[in-house]
Every structure is written in structure tokens, then in C-alpha cells.
Structure 1
Amino acid sequence: MKLSILFLACLMQPALSMGQNSMVLPSSAVTRVYQPAQPADFNTNIYYRNKLELSFETGVLPINIPFVFDVFEGDNYTQKPLHYTLVPIFPSLRWHMGSIRGPGILRGNTDLTASLSITAIPRGPETHYEAFDLGVRRNFVYRNRRTAPYFEYRMGAGFINAKEPHGVQWAQGQDFTFTLMLGSGVRYNFSPRYSMAFGPTYMHVSNLYMSEPKYLDNGINVWGGIIGFNMRLGRPKAESVQ
């Protein structure tokens, strides 16, 4: 009798052991199953494809210089005697055309900018200039940094209250004019939704010789500082993917 009981116990022990092992999982395995994936760079939630932002920028451009591309037009690099100060205001929409990519210091993304330009002229014969501008900005994004250097250019067309047809020498030759802007600076992200940017900007206004020969195309060439604030429109990236 004792031998039978001992034999049955030996047969049941492996089965019990297998049952216990099948129900117990290593703690590391549980951790791997339930641990959420963390992004390697939090900037992937800030700069991503099809992100739309509302931007508001303003600044003061008081420093007059010659046209920066005079060397390509064969003109002598001289400054016009009439000086201007421009105070532009840019309500804009920014559309991020792609996610972060690129090697080394070129890593970043690009956004397309559509702006309405409303510019006051506190110094100069004209008093105001309104235009519509399109531009491209390249953001150079480094891993897990809130700051991102950028470079941008914008081009557009608009209307200025030209004064050379009214007898003011060196003023603008006609109302319809074109805009060229070059700028650089730094963007700082407070969060994935809010950010600001600031930096120097060059602005050129002229009519591309359309008023000549009756009125000279003297143009405006100024630079100074611009500051702007950006706000994401719509849902954050994680929710938009869902």
C-alpha cells in the first residue's frame, strides 16, 4: 500500500510542476508587454507632416542698405539717399510639409508660409504697404532641444501709396510693387502647441522697373528684427494619427 501511494506521488509531481511553471511569467516579460513606447526625440511631436499653425509676427526694420543683389544686376552697390523705417505685421498660416529628417546639422523639416503683410511706414514719404506673401522656412531640429535655428525666404506682391508720381524724389514709382524677404533666427517651443521665433530679417520692396522710364524704380531695402508667436491648429499628433 505504501509503495502504491509513493508511486502515485512520483507520477503527479512533474504534472504539478508543469502547471505551476505555465502560470507564472517572469516579471521582465510582463514589463515588456505593458511598457508604452517612448519617442526617442520629443521634437517628433512638434515638427511633423501636415501640422498646421497660426502665426503672428511683427518687428521694426530701420536699417537702410543697398539692394543685396545689386552685384548680379550689374549696378553699383550704392544706397539711395532717402531712408525708410518699416513696421510689418504678418498674420500667417504655416503648413509643415514633412516630418523630421536629414543628416547631421541639416536634420529638420520644412514649412510653407502664407502671409498677409500689413506694413506701417513711420519714416519715409509713403505711409503704408499691404501685400500677400508666400514663403518657405527650413527648421534645423536637434534631438530633444526646445530651440531650433531656421532660415526662410518670402516673396509676394501688394500695393503702396507711391509718392514719386506726386513729385517726391527717390520715393516709389508706382503703387503696385513686389516684396522679397530673407530671414533667419531661432524658434523656441514652449510645448507641442505653442512656440515663438525671433531673428533678423531683410525686406526689399520695388516695382521691378515697371514704372520706368517715367519714374525710377528706387525701391526700399531695410533690415531689422522680427518676433513671432505660433499656435498649433487642430489636434495633437498622437490624436490625429488615431
Structure 2
Amino acid sequence: MPNQFFTASLHYIADQAYFFKSFFRNIFKKGFEWEELFRQCYLIGYKSIGIITLTGFILGIVLTLQSQPTLKQFGAESFIPGMVCVSIIREIGPVIIALICAGKVASGIGAELSSMNVTEQIDAMEVSGANPVQFLVVTRILACTVMIPLLTIFADAMALLGGFTASALGEGITVKLYFTKALTLLDYSDVLPAVFKTILFGFAIGFVGCFKGFTSNNGTASVGLAANSAVVTASVWIILIDAVVVQVTNSLLYA
């Protein structure tokens, strides 16, 4: 049993490595599907704005309301805008939005490609001379890599707006004073690692969704399994990438 598990794990890693190689090999081939890339950017980005806006806004409100009682005990309520800004942009925003996108985007890609695999549409593309990896996989992974960081930036802005709303209703702070205090504590060392993380998150979400859908087994049951597995695997990868990036960033900045 342990040997079978080890062998299956090696096969799984090898399949992902081959899929990873196929992705990069097809990026630079002629006939790149720009129209499909823009369509995927629209589906992944624009179609997710609603839930991203709501999540970011509520996240800013909740974080502000949760922080106010504790900081008031120490007379440090003036630091609430800066604390919310740094917390959202540096860590909470990228991870929460990536997990939301893993549930929405990765599952959608996995289910879509798996259903195409079940109905033999991918085989039909290969027979007709089309390149299914370039058309289906490359465009979706690149769209995720581009749009997830943009969605995160938008969600961060909504979170700051939510934080201002909570502070204005509770403390009567002005817009100018709130955002001045919020952005004063923000540094490039907070923004750049966060942006880099979101790029990796986007790539992981697109790659996992495409891999699970493209390599799913035949049968209608595989569609649901591919969608569910894509969400779980992408979420795990997001947590692992975040832990690694935080450790590397702290080593480089505070060594």
C-alpha cells in the first residue's frame, strides 16, 4: 500500500510537470488566441467584480469594527486607519480574494474543461488540427494571472472604503484625514510582496483549474469531481504560496 501511494504520487507530480511544460511551450507558438484571452479576462475579471466588491467592502467594515474596542483601550484609535490599510493590502486582502476566486474561477474552469473532455470536444479540436492546449489552457491561465491581481487591488480599495465607512459612522472622521492616516503607514515593502503574491495566486488558480479539467477521466461524474478538486487544490496552493512568500519576504527585508 505505501509503495502504491508513493508511485501514484510520483505519477501525479509527473503529470503536472508535463502539463506545466506544455503550457509554457504553447505560449510562444504561432497563432496565439488573443480574442479568447480577452474573452477569458472578461469572464474572470468583470464577471467577478460583484462578489469581489461586496467581499472587500464588508472585510474593511468588519476589520475596523473588530479593531476599535481593543485599540480604544490603549488610546490608539488614531492608528485604526493605518492598521486596516496595512493589514488589508499586505496579507488579508490578497489571501481572502484569492480563496474567493479559487471557489469561483477554479471550479468553473475545472467543470468547463472536464465537460468538454467528457463530450470529446477536446479530441475533436485535436482531430480538426486546432491546438486545445493553446486555446483552452494558455488563455485561461494567463487570464487568471492578469486578472486576479487587478481584482485584488480593486478589493483592497473597496476594503479601505468600507473601513472609512465604519470609522465615519463611529468616530465622524473625514475622508481626507482617514486616507491620510491610512496611507501614511503604507510602504513599498508592503505593496510589492502583496502584488507578487497575487500574481502567483492567479497562476495557481488558473493552472489547477485547467489541469483538473483537462486531465479528468471520462464520465459525467468527473465533472463534479474536477470542480471540487480544483477548489480544494487551489486553496491549498494559495496557503502554501502565501507561507513561502511571507517567509522569503521577511528574510530579505528584515534579515
- What is the TM-score when the length of structure 2 is the normalising length? 0.23
Higher relative contact order (CA 8 A, sep 6+): 2
TM-score (ref. length: structure 1): 0.23
Choose between structure 1 and 2: higher strand proportion. Answer: 1
